[in-house]
Amino acid sequence: MSESADCPPSSFATAQVQAGYSSTMPVTAALPPIYQSNAFALRSLTHARDLFAHRAEGDVYARTGNPTAAVFEQRVAALEDGVAAAGVASGQAAVALAILALAGRGGHVVAANQLYGGTVDLLVETLPDWGIETTFVDQDDIAAWRAAVRPETRLIFAESVANPIAQVLDVRAVADVAHNAGVPLVVDNTVATPYLQRPKEFGADISVHSATKFLGGHGSVIGGAIVDLGTFDFSAEPEKWPALTDPSRRIPSGESYVEHFRDSSPFIGFIKAKHMHDLGPTLSASTAFALLQGMETLDLRMQRHSASAQRIAEHLAAHPAVARVHHPGLAGNPWHDAAARYLSKGVPSVFSIDLHSAGDDEADFARAETFIAGLRVLQLLANIGDARSIVTHPASMTHSHLSPQQLADGGISWATVRLSIGLEDVDDLIADLDRALALL
């Protein structure tokens, strides 16, 4: 029993556990509180039965959600103009659960060559053990997307702005390929964020995020999000999605997921009820709280990130020690026109430069090491989207598991250095880069 006027704690041991709080207390805090609890009070056994059968709304056990995470989910869904979201433990978990929920047993994925290295590892090394195969294509080759589709294809996957070369996806064209094949387009929108692009506006069906990056923005916690944008009808071809539509694989209420969650999101309902419940990639209440604080300033931060990165890219494009700048805000960039179409508010601040090649991988690595060692303001970290400006060497760090061909397909060489421009003074950042480049 919780403390009340009718039933105060009767002993020290009871008081030290229950005094001062009732699970029925109204919450009047201006900010969403941290509900730091692993379980939630149930009104009765009948109430508990209804919650477990998904006949009632409410919190049961924090592995599948908590009230603080629910606020985060509602907020990121609103930013993406989606119908529902699932908050999970990391961006990697968001990608993995979205693919698992769609591909099922023996499913097939068509994915862009231009992806974050951890996503490539997942698709190439881990998901085949689950019976899920992937065909990779050049994201700019629309004919290749069409040709890669098979009868067992269950999703198309790409990044709205690729990490680390900042290739801009032709979302509308790839979405058309996906929809002609009867499958959803899943877009990793981490680098662009919903402020710079809402993929739904161009035909995407599901958005995933590493909230660790720009959504949080402060580099203190790890989290992820899966957003159902509400545009894909899983009931149109029910045989493709048996986990959602097969009556024999129903939830405890006796309905399929499509039937039970028809007024919200069968896809998110399934992820929460099955994959979060069974696999346990939980977004903690304290992490959700920290992410919510970051999201309150997302638009302001993205404006500063984007403006500073544009100025730095323009400066580096004229620097004699830099062979190439991969920033779609530059007029000569292959994705400049796509950026004008899909990123009208600005280009993200994650992009790469190529130092002049020394002729072989080890020599290029040595040059990159000299350059990075000379930096004093930019920090060497395996992250992006932080308030701090970050430098990374993809070939030896974030994309180190990729084969030479996979690196080439992604536009990465050993002379490539990734920058994530933060919120520091842009003149300080330019001076720091110039100082380090002078060492080459």
Is 18 contained in some domain? no
257 and 215, same domain (yes or no)? yes
Q: What is the mean pLDDT of residues 397-422?
A: 93
Question: Is the pLDDT confidence value at 311 over 50?
Answer: yes
**pLDDT value at residue 233:** 95
| Confidence band, pLDDT 50/70/90 cuts, at residue 3 | very low
141 with 117: CB under 8 angstroms? Answer: no
**pLDDT value at residue 357:** 93
Question: Is the pLDDT confidence value at 384 over 60?
Answer: yes
Q: What is the mean pLDDT of residues 82-99?
A: 97
287 and 386, same domain (yes or no)? no
Is 143 contained in some domain? yes
d(CA 420, CA 390): 5
**pLDDT value at residue 371:** 97
Q: For the chain, what percent of residues have pLDDT higher than 70?
A: 94
197 and 317, same domain (yes or no)? no
d(CA 103, CA 272): 16
Question: Is the pLDDT confidence value at 330 over 70?
Answer: yes
Q: How many folded domains does the chain comprise?
A: 2
230 with 249: CB under 8 angstroms? Answer: no
Is 65 contained in some domain? yes
247 and 368, same domain (yes or no)? no
Pairing of strands 322-326, 84-88: unpaired
271 and 366, same domain (yes or no)? no
CATH number at 374 reads 3.90.1150.10
Residues in the chain: 440
- Rounded to the nearest 5°, which phi and psi values hold at 291? -65, -40
CATH number at 145 reads 3.40.640.10
Q: Exposure string (b/e) for 33-72, b if CB count within 10 Å is 16 or more?
A: ebbeeeebebeeeeeeebbeebeeeebbebebbbbbbbbb
Q: What is the mean pLDDT of residues 309-329?
A: 98
Is 52 contained in some domain? no
**pLDDT value at residue 9:** 65
**pLDDT value at residue 13:** 61
Is 31 contained in some domain? no
Question: Is the pLDDT confidence value at 391 over 60?
Answer: yes
Highest mean pLDDT (candidates 51-65, 182-196, 392-406): 182-196
Is 263 contained in some domain? yes
Q: Which of 182-196, 238-252, 416-430 has the lowest mean pLDDT?
A: 238-252
- Asked whether the CA dihedral 258, 263, 268, 271 is positive or negative, the reply is negative
285 and 304, same domain (yes or no)? no
Q: Which of 47-61, 105-119, 162-176 has the lowest mean pLDDT?
A: 47-61
Domain boundary among 264, 294, 324: 294
419 and 290, same domain (yes or no)? no
Q: What is the mean pLDDT of residues 320-340?
A: 97
Taking the chain, what is the end-to-end CA distance rounded to the nearest angstrom? 70
| Confidence band, pLDDT 50/70/90 cuts, at residue 2 | very low
**pLDDT value at residue 55:** 84
302 and 290, same domain (yes or no)? no
| Confidence band, pLDDT 50/70/90 cuts, at residue 148 | very high
| pLDDT: which is higher, 162 or 30 | 162
- The 10s digit of each residue's pLDDT in 246-285 is 877 767 667 888 988 888 899 999 999 889 999 999 999 9
Is 280 contained in some domain? yes
Place of tokens 């992006």: 384
Question: Is the pLDDT confidence value at 124 over 80?
Answer: yes
- The 10s digit of each residue's pLDDT in 184-223 is 999 999 999 999 999 999 999 999 999 999 999 999 999 9
**pLDDT value at residue 359:** 86
247 with 127: CB under 8 angstroms? Answer: no
135 and 253, same domain (yes or no)? yes
| Confidence band, pLDDT 50/70/90 cuts, at residue 32 | confident
Q: For the chain, what percent of residues have pLDDT higher than 90?
A: 79
Is 35 contained in some domain? no
Q: Which of 64-78, 159-173, 178-192, 411-425 has the lowest mean pLDDT?
A: 64-78
Domain boundary among 226, 261, 294: 294
Domain boundary among 294, 320, 346: 294
Q: Exposure string (b/e) for 279-305, b if CB count within 10 Å is 16 or more?
A: bebbbbbebbbbbbebbeebeebbebb
344 and 221, same domain (yes or no)? no
206 with 231: CB under 8 angstroms? Answer: no
| Confidence band, pLDDT 50/70/90 cuts, at residue 5 | very low
Q: What is the mean pLDDT of residues 39-66?
A: 89
Question: Is the pLDDT confidence value at 25 over 70?
Answer: no
Q: Which residues pair with 206 in a beta bridge?
A: 186, 228
Expressed as residue numbers, the domain containing 311 is: 298-437
| Confidence band, pLDDT 50/70/90 cuts, at residue 327 | very high
- Rounded to the nearest 5°, which phi and psi values hold at 168? -100, 125
Highest mean pLDDT (candidates 22-36, 63-77, 156-170): 156-170
Q: What is the mean pLDDT of residues 376-392?
A: 96
**pLDDT value at residue 132:** 97
Helix, strand and coil in the chain, % to nearest 5: 40, 15, 45
- The 10s digit of each residue's pLDDT in 98-114 is 999 999 989 999 999 99
Displacement of CA 186 from its chain's centroid (Å): 11
**pLDDT value at residue 255:** 83
Q: Tell me the pTM.
A: 0.93
232 and 348, same domain (yes or no)? no
**pLDDT value at residue 143:** 98
193 and 88, same domain (yes or no)? yes
